[in-house]
Each structure stands twice: as structure tokens, then as C-alpha cells.
Amino acid sequence: MWDTVFSVKMPERKIEWVNDSIRLIGYEPSERVGKDTAFLYSDKDNFLDFGNKLKNAIAAGKDVFHTEGLLKRKNGDTFPAEITVTFHKENDAVVSVTSIVRDVTERNETQVELEKYKKHLETIVKEQTNKLEEQVEELERMNDLFVGREFRIKELRDKIKKLEKIKD
């Protein structure tokens, strides 16, 4: 997991500086400084959508904005990212932002695997619970038979005693 950190001039959304971690998505820092951030998004609609989310966060007076989105590497591959934006204001106007972009591919893959294991364990628990319920039912049936047998034996003993009394 890595973080790429950008300082972005607003409202133009142009990169003022970026750390060396941008190499992990295929770019040299010098390639991106002075350019807008559109290259990061999987398509123009995602770029515009993120811009609208930023505007809404600024209008709401937030100091920090946090979201997840699908971003794009230089080779065109997309990846899920966690994005945190901190707003820098001068005279109550946002003049720049610091953006931290974290590739969460591994985390998401791990979550998918954990969900698979969870479902598998739930299946095992359900199967074992069903087996235990069947065993409990069988034990209850056996208990009923034994209790019934004990009552029948007691009845027979009582009859024997009555017969013995009559015989005497």
C-alpha cells in the first residue's frame, strides 16, 4: 500500500507538486506538475463527478473530504483508491488542496477473500448445526421411548403387586 501526495491549485485543479510515489502509477513527478488532475480518473465523467464532490464539500465548510473512487494508471489500468483531500484557505476561499491517494487494491482483494471465508464458515456452521439438531431430535425421541418404557414397567409392577395381593 502506498500514498501519492499532491498539492493541487484550486479551482483549476492543477498539480503544484507531487511526491515520488506517483511513479507507482507510471508517471514521473515532473510529467505531472503544472497539469490538471484529469489524467488520474478513469474517464471525464469521473473527473467531473469528483470536482462536484469537492465543490459540495467546500460549500459545506468541510476542512477534509474523504472518498473512494476508481483511478487510472499511465498504462490505462484502473485501480480502486482511497482519496483524502485537505482544503487550504486564504480569506475563507479554498486556494489549494492537499490530496492523498492510496491504492486499496490489495485491501479490497483481502476483503473479498475474507467474505469468501466467512460464507464458507457460515456454511460449515449451518451444516454442523443441522447435524446437531438431528442428533438432539434423535436423543429426544430415544428419551421419550425410555421414559415411556419406564412408565410401562411401573404400570406392570403395580399390576403385579395388585395381582399378588389378590392371590394372597
pTM for the model stands at 0.68
Q: Provide the pLDDT confidence category of residue 149 given band limits of 50, 70 and 90.
A: confident
Q: Closest by alpha carbon to 83, among 102, 70, 64, 58?
A: 102
The pLDDT tens digits for 9-25 are 999 999 999 999 999 99
Cβ(30)–Cβ(42) under 8 Å? no
Tens digits of per-residue pLDDT, 75-118?
999 999 999 999 999 998 999 999 999 999 999 899 999 999 99
| Residue 1: band (very low, low, confident or very high) from pLDDT cuts 50, 70, 90 | low
Q: Dig out the grid coordinates for 109 from the structure.
A: 482483494
Phi-psi region of 91 (alpha: psi -120 to 50; beta: other; left: phi over 0): left
